[in-house]
Amino acid sequence: MKDYQRDFIELAIAKEALLFGEFTLKSGRVSPYFFNAGRFFQTGQGLASLGRFYAQAIVDAGVEFDLVFGPAYKGIPLASATAVALAEHHGLDYPYCFNRKEAKDHGEGGSLVGAALEGRALIVDDVITAGTAVREVMDIIAGANAKPAGVVIGLDRQERGKGELSAIGEVERDYQIPVVNIITLNDIISYLEQQGGVEHLEAIKAYRAAYGV
Ligand code: OMP
């Protein structure tokens, strides 16, 4: 695990963005942990630090893209903070845009805001579990004059998709793109093991055995 990944886990725990307990997921699975990226958005500094973690993960992965795309809603602050961090900390000033969930029929109109959605779009989002949310974003990209370049998420929950592959493996296969993460479930498990905390580990490992790949 790299230093910034450990820092991310520690900050996520401190901000209660990474929670342990019992959570019902969108997929219906009942998980012993949950990542709520919104907890980072509660202050300007929290959001700025989140943007730096995303930017670092993108630079580390070496993914090639033309534009940063933030899917509504949580992807919007995530992608905004990431685009700022790429420019300010890595000298990478990319075009950036996001979508509205409901198209606007007055003023500038339409459902996209920012740079034109064209070329290879890097999608910035919070979490992939079963892959439902990210597939909806792919439809938006396909409906515009763009192609997906990759997806970057804060947490890869490393869960099974529809078949033998992970949900993320299926996205990578179906769209021929990389899915980059700041951390994975295995990183969280390693971190908890290193901390010597046994409290949540058993439940998380049981969950991984049931739904993991
Ligand atoms: P999938 O559409 O199943 O991939 O679930 C992804 C979405 O689930 C995310 O965009 C979140 O809205 C939500 N989610 C979290 O935010 N954090 C988690 O730890 C787990 C989920 C989830 O419901 O699976």
The count of C-alpha atoms lying within 13 angstroms of the C-alpha of 29, restricted to the half-sphere facing its C-beta, is: 19
pLDDT at 103: 77
Please report the pLDDT score of residue 158 as a whole number: 95
What distances in angstroms separate CA 138 from CA 45, 70, 75, 121, 158, one per listed residue? 30, 12, 13, 10, 20
* Ligand 1 atom at minimal distance to the Cα of residue 126: 10
Task: Give the three-class secondary structure for 81.
Answer: helix
Say whether 88 sits in a helix, a strand or coil: helix
Q: Which residues carry out catalysis? A: 104, 106
Query: Tens place of pLDDT for every residue, the chain, 213 residues?
Result: 999 999 999 999 999 999 999 999 998 999 999 999 999 989 999 999 999 999 999 999 999 999 999 999 999 999 999 999 999 999 999 999 999 998 777 777 679 999 999 999 999 999 998 888 999 999 999 999 899 999 999 999 999 988 889 999 999 999 999 999 999 999 999 999 999 878 899 999 999 999 999
Q: Which residues have CB under 6 Å of ligand 1?
A: 25-27, 34-36, 126-133
* 160 labelled ligand-binding: no
Q: Is the pTM of this model over 0.90?
A: yes
- Is 52 among the annotated ligand-binding positions? no
* CA–centroid distance, residue 100 to ligand 1 (Å): 19
pLDDT at 162: 85
Report the nearest atom of ligand 1 relative to the CA of 131: 4
- Residue of 26, 31, 33, 36 with the most ligand 1 atoms within 8 Å of its CB, for mutation: 26
ipTM: 0.96
Probe ligand 1: pick from 78, 123, 129, max atoms within 8 Å of CB? 129
pLDDT recorded at residue 107: 75
Q: How far is CA 135 from the centre of its chain?
A: 13
Closest alpha carbon to 80 in 99, 107, 62, 66: 99
What spacing in Å lies between the alpha carbon of 14 and ligand 1's midpoint?
20
Annotated binding residue 100: yes
| CA nearest ligand 1 atom 8, residue | 26
